[in-house]
Amino acid sequence: MLYNALTTIVTYNLAIIDDILGYANSGFSWIGSQASWMQLVIYAIVIIFILVGFFTFLKKFIKAFLVIAVLGGLVYVLNMKGIINVQSIIDQVTGLFGGLI
Q: Where are the domains of the chain?
A: 1-33
CA within 13 Å, CB half, 31: 14
- 39 contacts 31 by C-beta, under 8 angstroms: yes
Confidence of residue 97 (pLDDT cuts 50, 70, 90): low
CA-based R_g, the chain, Å: 25
pLDDT of amino acid 82: 87
Q: Is 85 helix (H, G, I), strand (E, B) or coil?
A: coil
Q: How many degrees, rounded to 5, is the angle at CA 42 between CA 16 and CA 18?
A: 10
Sequence-distant (≥ 6) Cβ neighbours of residue 35 within 8 angstroms: none
11-64 tens-digit pLDDT: 777 888 888 888 989 988 898 898 999 999 999 999 999 999 999 999 999 999
